[in-house]
Structure 1
Amino acid sequence: METRKPPEFTIELSADRQNLKDVVKGIIHSILFHRIFTPLTPSAFEVLDLTIPCVPDPEVADLLETRSTTLLRALDTTTTTTTQSPQYNNAKNNGGPAHGSITVQFLERRRRKGWFITKPDEETIWETWVLSVSLTSARSEPEAERNRRVMEASLQEAVMKVITTANGEKEHIPPITTNDSTAFPYQILVNAKG
């Protein structure tokens, strides 16, 4: 039996230190909103003058806060420390931005059958979203304003990509075979690189 690799969708984002956590949380909220197949009360998350659908669950909010903070701390360790404020901080790699990623993986639980013994459920990945994040910095107020416009455009483009991908790519979604509050478990992983 041939095993197919689950689809992987990549989203490119850029954000400054001040807005990084909200931008990341907004995109992940959007992904989860479109991939958690349980009834949800619609809720909104405001980021950079953009309204994004979100999952109104305190556990999800706590998880996203933890993961976005982990990413920000990891990116902070890849940037050099100068006497300037963090908003106007220079980054490593000859002034280039620090990069990191957050991966959202959706899993399917499959019952494993044995002859006489019960085996634990097997979890297989059926879809992966990779958020490739660049931490931007500015040396002046005009540069900070330009970065904000780029950040807003990148966020809007990312949200539209989530919506079009989630609505267009459905054939690989496994059947829902449970009445649990979350039909498919998911995991959110952080990877930062300089």
Structure 2
Amino acid sequence: MNCEVCQLKELEVEHFEIREVLRCILHTILFHRALGLVRPKDVDLQLFEITYVQCGDIGLEKKVDEKIDQFIERVEKHPNKKNQICLSFYEMKKTQATWFSNKVERLYWEQWYINLNVVQQPKSQSGKSHHSNVMIDSGETAVEERSVRQAALEASLCEVLFQIIKFSNEKREHVPPIPNLDGVCFPYEITISSSSDSAFGMDMLKRMLQTGHPTMLS
């Protein structure tokens, strides 16, 4: 089965920006793969001048937040590493395992890789200096640098959102027929890895070959 893969532009974020950035990206992808009638909900980011759309489903929002919590826990345990979230859409197919039984196979048809480089916040200038004007100047410089960095991240996040929209609109032939399942979007799973996980690629390959019962999140 044809599985389309989209590698989203890497974003450099600080710890306090992770939750908003991931919510924005994940919900934007899920909204563009929504099924049937949804109740779109506009969400304004607090850290950036960006508005995105959610499907308006409480259950979906809860599951996304649970995965973001796991991602943040991983970042705290493994700082200074690039981290990645993979949002995969799949469909379930019954295949004949033996003469007497069938198995349900999970076939992935689309995968989105969200790449975050979580950087540590620069430490403040040491207070040992006796020259207050030097401390003031360094403080102003730090504020300016943070402002420039935040503006750059906002621009990059907008690029990612446009990348999602472009991919969703152009890549449609591989999208399977709408399944007879409950839920606001196609069955999906969210997996987390970091740059240190050398076996991540093999793990994903194994997951594509594994069988199991359908679940909304793994």
TM-score band w.r.t. shorter chain:
0.7 to 0.9
Aligned to 1:100: 83
Read off the aligned partner of 2:13 and give its amino acid letter: A
- 8 Å Cα contact 1:38-1:182 kept in structure 2: yes
**Alignment partners' CA distance in 2, 1:176 and 1:147:** 42
What's the CA shift for 1:64?
Answer: 1.5
Match of 1:169 among 152, 168, 171: 171
Aligned residues: 174
**Alignment partners' CA distance in 2, 1:109 and 1:7:** 17
**Alignment partners' CA distance in 2, 1:141 and 1:193:** 30
Unaligned runs of 5+ in 2: 123-141, 197-218
Aligned to 1:156: 158
What's the CA shift for 1:45?
Answer: 2.1
State the identity as a percent. 22
Unaligned runs of 5+ in 1: 80-91, 93-97
Describe the SS at the equivalent of 1:102.
strand
- 8 Å Cα contact 1:43-1:55 kept in structure 2: yes
What's the CA shift for 1:185?
Answer: 0.8
Aligned to 1:120: 103
**Alignment partners' CA distance in 2, 1:183 and 1:119:** 26
Aligned to 2:206: none
What's the CA shift for 1:120?
Answer: 3.4
* Greater Rg over alpha carbons, structure: 2
Describe the SS at the equivalent of 2:144.
helix
Aligned to 2:57: 57
What RMSD, in angstroms, separates the aligned Cα atoms of the two structures? 2.1
**Alignment partners' CA distance in 1, 2:68 and 2:185:** 24
- 8 Å Cα contact 2:86-2:192 kept in structure 1: yes
1:131 is the counterpart of 2:129: no
Moved more, 40-49 or 180-189: 180-189
Moved more, 46-55 or 27-36: 46-55
After superposition, where does 1:45-84 map in structure 2 within 5 Å? 45-47=43-45, 48-79=48-79
Match of 1:42 among 25, 40, 43: 40
Match of 1:147 among 146, 149, 152: 149
